[in-house]
Structure 1
């Protein structure tokens, strides 16, 4: 059988799991694919290399695929998404110093996002009155669920990201160092980087993304829009490999082997034990608190993989709240068209 070679870019995150498993567990080979996986350093690199066909497909932020298709952010690169890769799986982490301050200002249970947001607002007001520089929070990319979740959290206390709190973009693998150095006071990123910050003794995980929004649209498998149309066999074969990986990943007995795959130096390059805890939904919180079990922390099931037009609506609402664009009905229709009707 002649093997079809596909080059797929990915970022080192737990949510690249289905792409990794498609290769490492042989599901791609069963579909007649020779899958080459290439680890990247930033979401902009992934987007740009996909656009110029250095990649056939890419592990991609869903909002980034929409932004590129709409031409928001200076890059026009129409994309199509035939299948998702996960839902949920992110968290907000702050430095230990800021966590202690939040706890001092909290009036209620700090685990409640409204309580923590009001505590943050009190910190912001005190810093402003004292002439101190504003706090800085980061997300992994401007067009990401992480940015929009930060906006939703801050809005619970009437704060605006980029105004009351400074905003930076920090690629996922650099978030722990940014927190350690004091460059940022907190960040929102996908697993495992929140857990890595806690394990390094520099951060405390304040909220999982599911505390703010359940079943949140996250990573997708993106193709150039014209390739998705002109290469249906390649798209179908890779989709089938991803679906087989999803079925395998959803079996609890496979968590240890899945973590082993992800821990490889050319994948995430982090300890297997840390990744296995995340896959078992056991989150280290830091700040002197016990580990927390989050039943639906990250989803790889079949329903999580189905792109949905309402996901595009949420992304556009997030873009408006973040001040990135004003949405027209034409934009809404174009954004919804990024997500192809799933054939599964």
Structure 2
């Protein structure tokens, strides 16, 4: 019973922490760290929520969640008699776990299919340009720049973007898109998109997804600024924002007009870095969340 209570308390703490974290002001100063915290909160919340129900369900076995589920699957007789509440908890816990897994797999499969279709389409309507080697160019008047993530990643720009941006600005945009590809930001977004599908009514989940989308853009900006002038990237973002950029295809990562000024401000006037104490504190919190919850699945308190 203690394990179930601790997991329930941890799930509640993660939910409240996520709600407070959506309004945190330091995240733009350390976007990669903030992404790690968001990921740890999401994983811990999912495992703790389902684990609390399953821990109560397997109480008659007097073992941890995972050993109890294995014993249940093998048809072993529990040490204590089942009651209706244990049965309901088992049904609710397994259903919740199945929904989370199925939604995650479905989101992944749909993303892979969308990218596969888009690669086929690009092979038909895009072209190479000696001015931007290694990049596919779409003959479209609107400004667009995005990447198709995956094992065969591609960076795509439109003819309108080539006309809109100077060579230095285009180099900055391409460095930004290369950062998305290199750091696999599509995999960062996937669990949050899946959770949004599972809980479409949750404002906290919607806010979390929106914040992570902004944070990966800021993280890509930070990596791009190693290879280009931050001001060139900022002016490129402003041009995209004022020119009415073409919407990024579904499942891709690209330059768009959302939150442009927040990104431009931090590029031109970057805030002070977080202190080492704060950084290590949040890292320790993330590690604690990612280790405590699996521990509670295996061992009974």
Same fold (TM over 0.5): no
More helix by share: 2
Larger radius of gyration: 2
More strand by share: 1
TM-score (norm 1): 0.23
